[in-house]
């Protein structure tokens, strides 16, 4: 197939699905990975032990290579996994060359293999932002800057910038009209805070170390007159009794322009949490012992 044709992504994905069906009788790890952990030509998968990771690695390399899909650009958070593949099949010598401000770009995210963390860094956000002082600040420039924040999981929810954009629309400013001094001061304050996302990192591993004995999913929602949102946390307990709680994802919405009562916004936040939970639980593919959704709004509970 010619790369770039409209049918190429579908055919590549369909071939992986067919290969997963063909390998389902001989392997226990590869079919699930082929079905659920590939995004076109990129595979993301973890394992509880080094031995499981090495086994999965070989179970993927062998059948895919046999069918002409030769895996390359391997990345891992442990050197033994990288040593199991030839040097020309590695992304780079990740465990040695990367410092704390760099990472491997995976589906728009930056991943630092040594610390095994996802980074919200200049490569995904602030690096693409132009300095406001270099040109007149307008609604067009601010919209472009806010749109560069790539955050599909809601780990850094940019709702405060969407609220500011809503204010610009309510004032009926033209796309290239320069902001007033009042709005410009507000934007400059938010712009300077935006650079602080470079310091944020999230652990890829959301479980307690070792085999989890209990997994709970906790969701929270809240609302204000300007916005409402919801977030999900995974709480796990390992065999040693250690408890780990990690943020999984979140969503936020700006309140409608048309005036809405606060109780109704609280209901909107609870609905957003329920929808987020329904989409997230199947994607996690985990045996969750308990799901708890929390709200401080009495009217929602009634």
**Mean pLDDT, rounded, for 113-135:** 60
Question: What CA–CA distance (Å, rounded) separates 293 from 281?
Answer: 13
3-state SS class at 189: helix
The residue with tokens 């999981």 is 153
Q: Which pLDDT score is estimated for 135?
A: 64
3-state SS class at 245: strand
76-92 per-position pLDDT tens digit: 888 888 888 888 888 86
Whether 234 shows a pLDDT value over 50: the answer reads: yes
- H/E stretch holding 229 reads strand 227-238
Q: Which of 254 and 134 is assigned the larger pLDDT? A: 254
Asked if residues 223 and 151 have their Cβ atoms less than 8 Å apart, the reply is: no
pLDDT bracket for residue 1 (50, 70, 90): low
Q: Which of 50 and 211 is assigned the larger pLDDT? A: 50
- Residue-range domain boundaries for the chain: 8-97, 126-201, 205-301
pLDDT bracket for residue 98 (50, 70, 90): low
What separation in angstroms does the CA of 294 have from each of 216, 229, 232?
Answer: 13, 12, 10
pLDDT bracket for residue 100 (50, 70, 90): low
Q: Which pLDDT score is estimated for 97?
A: 56
Q: Which of 121 and 63 is assigned the larger pLDDT? A: 63
Whether 204 shows a pLDDT value over 90: the answer reads: no
pLDDT bracket for residue 129 (50, 70, 90): very low
Beta-sheet pairing, 290-295 with 212-223: parallel
In CATH, 205-301 is 3.30.420: yes
Q: Which pLDDT score is estimated for 137?
A: 85
Number of H helices, E strands in the chain: 10, 10
Q: Which of 21 and 130 is assigned the larger pLDDT? A: 21
Question: What CA–CA distance (Å, rounded) separates 302 from 132?
Answer: 48
Phi, psi for 234 (deg, rounded to 5): -100, 125
Q: Which pLDDT score is estimated for 27?
A: 64
Q: Which pLDDT score is estimated for 124?
A: 42
Whole-structure pTM value: 0.82
The residue with tokens 């001061």 is 185
pLDDT bracket for residue 272 (50, 70, 90): very high
Q: Which of 272 and 77 is assigned the larger pLDDT? A: 272
**Mean pLDDT, rounded, for 123-145:** 64
Whether 267 shows a pLDDT value over 50: the answer reads: yes
Q: Which of 249 and 115 is assigned the larger pLDDT? A: 249
7-66 per-position pLDDT tens digit: 888 888 888 888 888 887 776 778 888 888 888 788 888 888 889 899 999 989 988 888
Q: Which pLDDT score is estimated for 102?
A: 67
3-state SS of 80-122? Answer: HHHHCCCHHHECCCHHHHCCCCCCEEECCEEEECCCCEEEECC
Q: What percent of the chain has pLDDT over 70?
A: 89
Whether 188 shows a pLDDT value over 60: the answer reads: yes
Least confident of 145-149, 153-157, 206-210, 243-247: 145-149
Question: What CA–CA distance (Å, rounded) separates 63 from 56?
Answer: 11
pLDDT bracket for residue 224 (50, 70, 90): very high
């Amino acid at each position: 197939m010619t790369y770039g044709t409209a049918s190429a992504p579908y055919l590549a994905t369909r071939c992986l699905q067919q290969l997963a069906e063909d390998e389902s009788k001989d392997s226990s790890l590869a079919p699930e990975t082929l079905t659920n952990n590939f995004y076109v030509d990129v595979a993301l998968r973890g394992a509880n032990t080094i031995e499981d990771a090495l086994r999965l690695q070989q179970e993927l390399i062998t059948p895919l290579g046999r069918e002409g899909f030769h895996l390359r650009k391997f990345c891992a958070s442990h050197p033994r996994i990288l040593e199991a593949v030839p040097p020309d099949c590695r992304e780079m010598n990740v465990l040695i060359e990367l410092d704390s401000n760099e990472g491997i770009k995976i589906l728009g995210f930056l991943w630092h293999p040594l610390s095994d963390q996802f980074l919200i860094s200049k490569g995904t956000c602030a690096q693409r932002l132009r300095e406001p002082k270099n040109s007149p600040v307008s609604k067009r420039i601010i919209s472009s800057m806010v749109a560069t924040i790539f955050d599909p999981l809601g780990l850094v929810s940019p709702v405060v910038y969407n609220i500011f954009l809503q204010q610009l629309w309510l004032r009926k400013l033209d796309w290239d009209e320069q902001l007033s001094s009042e709005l410009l001061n507000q934007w400059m304050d938010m712009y300077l805070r935006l650079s602080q996302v470079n310091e944020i990192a999230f652990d890829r591993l959301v479980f307690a170390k070792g085999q989890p004995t209990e997994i709970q999913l906790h969701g929270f929602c809240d609302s204000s007159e300007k916005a409402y949102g919801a977030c999900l946390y995974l709480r796990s307990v390992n065999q040693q009794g250690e408890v780990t709680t990690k943020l999984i994802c979140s969503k936020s919405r700006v309140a409608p322009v048309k005036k809405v009562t606060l109780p109704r916004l609280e209901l909107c936040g609870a609905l957003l949490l329920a929808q987020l939970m329904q989409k997230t639980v199947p994607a996690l593919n985990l045996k969750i012992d308990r799901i708890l959704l929390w709200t401080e709004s009495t009217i929602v509970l009634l």
